[in-house]
Amino acid sequence: MAFASLALLLHGACATSRALASNRRRLCFHARVRTGPNRRGAARSTRTCATSRSVSVAALPSASDPTWMGVECVRQRDRFLSCLQKKEQHSGDAVPIEAVLPAQWAAWTARQSQAVQQWIRELGIVPKETPQTILIPDFGRHANSGQGAARMLQKVAFVLGTAVEAASPDDPWIGNAELWWSFGALPRTLPSGMYTVSQCEFANPDQIALAWTLGAYTFTAFQRTSKHAAATENTDVSPAQDGPQQAAVLLVQDGDVFEKVVQTGKACFLGRDLINTPAQNMGPEAVEKAVRELAAEYEGARVSSIVGDDLLEENYPQIHAVGRSALGFSGRSPRLIRLEWGMDQNKDAPLVAIVGKCITFDTGGLQIKPAASMRLMKKDMGGAAAAVALTEMILATKLKMRVILLLPAADNAVGPDAYRPGDVLTARNGLTTEIEHTDAEGRLVLADALVAACEHVKPALLIDFATLTGAQRVAMGSEIGSVFCSDPTLLDQLEKQSRIQGDYMWPLPMYTPYKGMLSSTIATMKNCATGGLAGAITAALYLKAFVRPDVPWMHLDINGFNNTARHGRPEGGEVMGARAIFHFIEEVVVRHPKSS
């Protein structure tokens, strides 16, 4: 009798499991729009969006919808741009900021009035290792008409730290970027009010404005105040919850500099918000919503997606395999998100294909990560965030080019349908991969997208961003990204822009002999090497198998996160490499296309 009861129990459990699996398949994407037959004769499920379409506020549930934050990140990305203002829009006085290098401190002090010199002596102010913001009072000579607490100031002495004083434009590693990055400390440390930089010998206006703007950023969407504790029924949050702390405002003399920095700031803020948003609110569908909302702001941008089991129908099997364990769960179904821009209006212009790894949370799969390694895995879509930021910079500046953005989006989750060690997957181009480790999933989804990026039209440049390997962080630390390139002649230009923009990338070798470390006895190759050697290089060699040999290709392996706060780069998500690549594209691909 006991055995019979156990058999019935097992039979019921299996039937329930099959029913749940069937329901998950049916629920894989409830909002799909049927558009037409595919090559197998079955209906194809895609979603398309023209720039004229946007998501209405009424369609955005609050915390009950785990995907709504994607749209909010786009809508709120300009919330810190009030820290900049055009000089022509401000009629009052502004407090002058005089930037002083430590070696110049004595000479600068000697030029000041007796009252200021005495005040400095009494306070014992001397240069230190870190920058100092010295607020010099008005001493009653006149009332400054600036706004806020700054009205009591005569000027600000911004004394740089001795740690960065030795930086030089000729530094082969980082140039003098850390000098101008120091201005990123000011918008959150100065009293509220209007300021202008009246003296600076080591930075130009656009560098100062950029550091100031990016330094104004905070992410407080999920913080709660006593006001919220009292109003427990208020469950809505947004990136601009309560508004940002009032930042000091920099007056910008040059209108072109102002517009340029605003465009860059919006793109960087969007990317940071996407990374900083908890994974519960930033799954694959939320990322898609963000891309659609962004595309709606730019004429000529089109978005489509292939979702759930349709990835198999459309031959994206590795994206599906990685994400199928989350298939059917609210907002978590895997997908390929595609944005195109300039395809009609810039038909003869260079085409740049941009691919971003978009693993919205990475548990490591069945070979699960330890707790400490999983803690920050909401950032495993940092490559996609950087790719989105780069795309917006291109669209906002209307560069004469064409863009294809591809984001293979999935959760690498644990479940009965999760892909396993030892499985063999077939990629879009027919190559097979034996799974050595389920935590090497990013390269699997990137492979399908890289193949798609090179189909139909040959790109002038193919770029992928990915938070791909721990080996890269071991080699470079958290502040420097790595770049692999199929054309070494392009690296010099990228390194130059990396130093100029303070967006540090450093080349690693595409050392072909290491490809043997990926050898498999039953498939084309393994998805990663055994052991801990050359992990970043072998990952790049794996991806190379999915790129057309005649297409110039750059692979950026980045951290995607500021582990500690630095001037202009607060702790949290960071779109590493996006600004350097944008200026590289602007210079090499658009202005001088022959060199690409």
Residue 107 contacts by C-beta under 8 Å, 6 or more apart in sequence? none
DSSP one-letter string for 37-85: E-TTSSEEEEEEE-TT----GGG--STTSTTTHHHHHHHTTTTTGGGEE
Give the separation between CA 127 and CA 384, rounded to whole angstroms. 41
CB 48 within 8 A of CB 306: no
- Between the alpha carbon of residue 177 and those of residues 171, 195, 306, the distances in Å are 10, 22, 41
**List 302, 369, 400, 496, catalytic entry:** 369
The phi and psi torsions of 481 (rounded to 5 degrees) equal -90, 160
Query: Is-catalytic flag, 369?
Result: yes
Which of 407, 403, 381, 383 lies closest to 393, judged by CA?
403
Q: Given 47, 260, 289, 443, which residue is catalytic?
A: 443
- Give whole-number Cα distances, 475 to 376, 472, 577, in Å: 19, 5, 17
- Give CA–CA dist 501/587, Å, rounded: 13
Dihedral angle sign, alpha carbons of residues 540, 544, 550, 556: negative
Residue 574, phi-psi category: left (phi > 0), alpha (psi -120 to 50), beta (remainder):
beta
Question: Which amino acid makes up residue 352?
Answer: V
Contacts of 38 (CB under 8 A, 6+ apart): 44, 313, 314
Q: What is the DSSP string of 155-189?
A: EEEEE--HHHHT--TT-TTTTTHHHHHGGGGSTTT
C-alpha–C-alpha distance, residues 267 and 394, integer Å = 10
Give the residue numbers marked as catalytic: 369, 443
